Amino acid sequence: MMNFRSKLAFAGVILASFLLASCATLNEVVQKPKAKVSGVSIADLSVKQVTLDVLVDVYNPNPVALNTESLTLDLSVNQHSLAKLERSNYRHSIAAKGNSQITLPLTLTFGELRKLAGSLGDQDSLQYGINGELGFKLPVLGVLALPLEYSGELPIPKWPKVDIADVNVKQFNFSGVELEAKLTLSNPNAFALDLNQFNYQLNAASNTIGSSRLSNVSLPAGASKTVTVPFSLSLSELGNSLVQMLRGKGPVTFELLGDMDIQPQLPAWKPQPFSFSEKKDISF
């Protein structure tokens, strides 16, 4: 007959065999879910930051629903981490034998990008990578972490530029002066811009030369356009100081003030009207 120790050892062997068999059975019954980043869309875009919607597709092959347990996402540029999303208690139910898409927002500021990854300079876009893990809580087996990876490209939006190209005196007599100002409008972006409205005012020597507006001006990607705008003023409107400057040989400082209402041909970027101010010294 077996003594007590022999019986206990035999029971241990039987229990271990049962547990191993159970684990093997569970591994056959409980299948690993699948997760991947299927795409990234731009939810919001400005010249300061961009918010990305990271789309994660999840498939649960098991006959019972599964719950996610944790989530980490890390967006990097040139191996610099610039945006993170960490949730240690992330709960999302995936139906039995079902597919689900999870939308996760990540916000990246271009200011942080300039500090950590160097100056953007004249770059029109940037390459980025996303790495992370989606954790699942599986019956008996515990938490399973599924890797997430993705890479893509983002546009870097920039405001259009306005410059005073030149100012010419077309006519100067006792009745007044006629000026012609050439303004250069530039689009530094890799996508087209439409100027719905362009309001401007030209000043010189503390005098307002005139103001007007342009509308429906289209600027292709990376293109510049020069527009010529005329101004007519009487001598009384000019002011004595500006008359003397126009007659002299020294430079005249012109200032262009205004605001723009633009419509980028980039759906995610819907900017508010913005103001500008430019100065240039011109000799006559």
Is 16 within a domain? no
Q: Which of 105, 128, 155 is the last residue of a domain?
A: 155
For tokens 């401007």, the residue is 200
What is the distance between the alpha carbons of residues 284 and 278, in angstroms, rounded to a whole number?
Answer: 19
Q: Both tokens of residue 279?
A: 């100065």
Residue 229 sits in a domain of what CATH number? 2.60.40.1820
Classify residue 26: in a domain, yes or no: no
Separation CA 197–CA 278 (nearest Å): 18
Please indicate, yes or no, if residue 12 is contained in any of the structural domains.
no
Partner residues linked to 218 by β-bridges = 194
Determine the Cα angle at 56 with ends 32 and 135, to 5°. 45
Task: State residue 129's pLDDT score.
Answer: 93
Inter-residue contact 72 to 114 (CB < 8 Å): no
Q: Tell whether 48 and 151 lie within a shared domain.
A: yes
Q: Does residue 15 fall inside a structural domain? A: no
**Is residue 1 one of the residues assigned to a domain?**
no
Domains of the chain: total: 2
Do 70 and 126 belong to one domain?
yes
* Count of residues in the chain: 284
| Residue 168, token pair as written in the block | 């010419």
Choose one of 155, 185, 214: the last residue of a domain.
155
Give the CA distances from residue 91 to residues 118, 140, 237, in Å, rounded to whole numbers and listed in that order. Answer: 37, 18, 71
Residues 131 and 222 in one domain: no
d(C-alpha 87, C-alpha 105), whole Å: 12
Give the SS3 label for residue 31: coil
- The reply to whether 44 and 139 lie within a common domain is yes
- Position 276 in a domain: yes
Closest CA to 201 of 226, 231, 161: 231
CATH code, domain carrying 36: 2.60.40.10
Are 175 and 268 in the same domain? yes
One domain for residues 119 and 194: no
Give the rounded distance of the alpha carbon of 231 from its chain centre.
Answer: 40
Tokens of 146: 């599924």
* Start-to-end CA span in the chain (Å): 122
Q: What pLDDT, on the 0 to 100 scale, is given for residue 242?
A: 67
Structural domain containing residue 256: 161-282
**Domain identity same for 182 and 146:** no
Same domain, 101 and 176: no
Contact between 53 and 110 under an 8 Å Cβ cutoff? The reply is: no
* Residue 169 within any structural domain of the chain: yes
Residue 14 included in any domain:
no
Structure-token pair, residue 90: 């992330």
Residue at a domain's end among 155, 177, 194: 155
- Strand boundaries in 11-141, DSSP class E: 34-45, 49-59, 66-77, 80-87, 93-94, 99-109, 125-138
Q: Write out the chain's pLDDT in tens, 284 residues.
A: 445 454 454 444 444 444 444 444 444 567 889 999 999 998 888 888 889 999 999 999 999 899 899 999 999 887 788 889 998 888 889 999 999 999 999 988 887 776 765 555 567 788 899 999 999 988 777 889 999 999 998 888 889 999 999 988 888 777 778 889 999 999 999 899 999 999 999 888 777 888 889 888 999 999 999 999 998 877 766 666 666 666 666 788 889 999 999 999 888 888 888 899 999 988 77
Q: Are residues 187 and 273 in the same domain?
A: yes
Q: Please report the pLDDT score of residue 10 as a whole number.
A: 41
What's the pLDDT score for residue 194? 93
